[in-house]
Amino acid sequence: MQEARATAEPLVVDVREVPRWQREVDVLVVGLGCAGACAAIEAAAAGAETLALERASGGGGTSALSGGVLYLGGGTDVQKQAGFDDSPEEMAKYLLAACGPRPDADKIQVYSEESVEHFRWISARGVEFKPTFYARYSGEPPTDDGLVYSGSEKAWPFDEIARPAPRGHVGRVPGAAGGYLMQKLLAAVPASGARVQGDTRVTALVRHADGAIAGVLARSAGERVAIRARRGVVLTTGGFIQDRRMLDLHAPLLRRCSVRVGAEGDDGSGIRLGMAAGAATLNLGAGSVSLPIHPPKSTSRGVLVNRSGQRFLNEDVYMGRLGEHVLFHQHGIAWLLFDDASFERPDLPRELVATGETWAEVGAELGLPEGALEATMQLYNQHARRGEDPLFHKRREYLAPLETPPFGALDCRVETTLFAAFTLGGLHTNAWSEVLTPTGEPLPGLYAAGRSTSGLAAPGYSSGLSLGDGSFFGRRAGRRAASARTSR
């Protein structure tokens, strides 16, 4: 009953219904993952009295559980020392091409231009990056190397659009770079002067008659408290992969993914608060869907086919692009085919669901239409013998005819294998992290960053764009809120 009543509480409350404020601050940050920590640090650094609320006992959230990859570039110290040439222009070109049919050009521009500065800021918080490149292609190297390819930069068509450079920056704690990053950022929060209060759940935004946000109502240890935010409220509460209802409504195909990437708090609470206050949302149907057929990158020599036995993209693209295509465009069904010469198991094991001395036998075992796999492989081999892939433009280094029996198929179907998903849509914000109304104007007093917003990456994901844009636009949210006029 407690829970049932709690969910029926209003998400927005008129300021005149708040008899008194139990607490007053300048900037109130809701949620203490990567975006929230950066927002709090920057707001406090700008001189604002800052309080960060976290519903769990301590901060960290999904960021602390993540692989710790930050998508940064434009010529960071790590890129330079590892021998890679990059520029803000090339970084922006890649992101404009990779981030879906309507990339946010304003955000991409500022994110690319200020990426080197942002890298230094993160480093200055004590996060160390070893300036060495890990070539075996992964979002999260098993080593302490600090730089990886974390997107489709070297795959067609992106390699023709922008000069490839690795931009995945990973802290030097193998296997726990996300926790390491958050450990440093969380330590920097009190150091900045911002206060932190855990075990506190924001239940409503408080608004003035004109719609401007005045503060929040929260629950802490069973008590309801009203907290005024003189300059602004920053929502950094994460996405909604853990909320069955929102997922069902807005991103139903993500329900099919076996692994939902997100802490318990990723239930969309901040998105709902913003919507209820009149904010616009964006890309609620978008999700990052990883289909990890590599590393190792050499598994790109395999051929991925759909339920009609057809190829549908270049197998050497990033696993986020693979997953997106299989789930959203190929009914969630795919198999990765090898011959004896090319066979290599992906690091994440996949079941060998069909084998045969001919492609016809493999196709029959997979239940594919008669002749379909033979036609696909005959055409593929015909081109691959010449080192070409005119259908999907896989890179030459992964092209070889698959003609040495036995042949086999690894399972890549969404229902039976590992697909890792999280949501990418959320509140619509501008490049200053101001939450926008349906007409595109800032909703006074409300800011947001991280996965509670539609970030850079919806719907074309590259690893590192969550921590990357969360930390970057979290900082901007904190600075912008700190500089806002004090509300009545």
Distance of CA 217 to the CA centre of its chain: 29
Task: Using alpha carbons, select from 232, 228, 249 the residue that is nearest to residue 240.
Answer: 249
Is 437 a residue that touches a copy of itself (CB under 8 A)? yes
Sequential DSSP letters for 158-204: HHHHS-----EEE-SSTT-HHHHHHHHHHHHHHHHT-EEE-SEEEEE
Our CB check for a copy of itself shows the closer of 227 and 280 to be 280
Q: Which stretch binds a copy of itself (CB under 8 A): 53-61, 109-117, 275-283, 295-303?
A: 275-283
Q: What residues between 197 and 256 interact with a copy of itself by CB under 8 A? A: 209-211, 245, 248-250, 252-253
Smallest distance, Å, CB 79 to a copy of itself?
31
Separation of alpha carbons 129 and 147, rounded Å = 8
Is 285 a residue that touches a copy of itself (CB under 8 A)? yes
Q: 443 near 437, Cβ under 8 Å?
A: yes
Query: Amino acid letter at 7?
Result: T
Smallest distance, Å, CB 429 to a copy of itself?
12
Is 378 a residue that touches a copy of itself (CB under 8 A)? yes
Query: Amino acid letter at 285?
Result: G
Is 314 a residue that touches a copy of itself (CB under 8 A)? no
Smallest distance, Å, CB 91 to a copy of itself?
22
Smallest distance, Å, CB 406 to a copy of itself?
23
Q: What residues between 7 and 46 interact with a copy of itself by CB under 8 A? A: 7-8, 10-12, 14, 16-17
Is 290 a residue that touches a copy of itself (CB under 8 A)? no
Is 360 a residue that touches a copy of itself (CB under 8 A)? no
Query: Amino acid letter at 2?
Result: Q
Smallest distance, Å, CB 134 to a copy of itself?
33
Q: Which of 258, 371, 396, 415 binds a copy of itself (CB under 8 A)?
A: 371
Task: Report the relative pairing of strands 426-427 and 281-282 from DSSP bridges.
Answer: antiparallel
Smallest distance, Å, CB 48 to a copy of itself?
27
Is 132 a residue that touches a copy of itself (CB under 8 A)? no
**432-450 CB burial, b ≥16 within 10 A, e <16:** bbbbbbeeeebbbbbbbbb
Three-state SS for 240-274 is: CCCCHHHHHHHCHHHHHCCEECCCCCCCCHHHHHH
Total chain residues near a copy of itself (CB under 8 A):
56
Is 410 a residue that touches a copy of itself (CB under 8 A)? no
3-class secondary-structure state, position 472? helix
Our CB check for a copy of itself shows the closer of 382 and 404 to be 382
Angle at Cα 108 formed by Cα 106 and Cα 110, nearest 5°?
70
The DSSP symbol for 399 reads: -
Q: 84 near 133, Cβ under 8 Å?
A: yes
Is 190 a residue that touches a copy of itself (CB under 8 A)? no
Is 6 a residue that touches a copy of itself (CB under 8 A)? no
Give the footprint of a copy of itself on this chain (CB under 8 A). 7-8, 10-12, 14, 16-17, 101-102, 209-211, 245, 248-250, 252-253, 271-272, 275-285, 308-311, 329, 369-372, 375-376, 378-379, 382-383, 390-392, 428, 437-441
